[in-house]
């Protein structure tokens, strides 16, 4: 089950932090989408979480903001990866640092998933 929440990262209680760096956006001609998808798979975030037998995954959207990746594309890729790995975890929680980001996420989620 995927939940979408707006949370302050300092209020999250976690057993582990698994981090991946997303690609910098260079106009979409440098396999940025594939690089972003790979952040969520191939021995990275979600596979490491499975190996560590995590039950709940809490994740911000990778690369929203600082790397100039188009937000709508980043959100769609993130939601597809969450959906793909959803069966491996009891709960998948997306969190955001602003209401604007959360609202966009909810809008894309309701239209496409």
Rounded Cα distance between 112 and 72, Å, is: 12
Domain boundaries, the chain: 2-9+25-112
Decide yes or no: CATH 3.40.220.10 for domain 2-9+25-112. Answer: yes
> pTM score > 0.85 for this model?
no
Least confident among 42-46, 48-52, 77-81, 95-99:
42-46
* Residues 13-68 pLDDT 10s: 777 777 677 788 899 999 988 888 887 764 567 778 888 888 888 776 666 666 77
| pLDDT tier for residue 7 given thresholds of 50, 70 and 90 | low
């Amino acid at each position: 089950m995927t939940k979408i929440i707006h949370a302050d990262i300092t209020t999250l209680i976690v057993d582990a932090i698994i981090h991946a760096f997303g690609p910098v956006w260079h106009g979409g001609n440098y396999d940025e989408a594939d690089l972003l998808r790979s952040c969520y798979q191939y021995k990275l975030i979600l596979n490491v979480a499975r190996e560590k037998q995590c039950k709940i995954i809490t994740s911000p959207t990778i690369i929203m903001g600082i790397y100039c990746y188009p937000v709508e594309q980043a959100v769609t890729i993130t939601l597809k990866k969450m959906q793909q790995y959803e069966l491996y975890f009891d709960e998948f929680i997306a969190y955001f640092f602003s209401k604007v980001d959360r609202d966009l996420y909810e809008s894309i989620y309701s239209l496409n998933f």
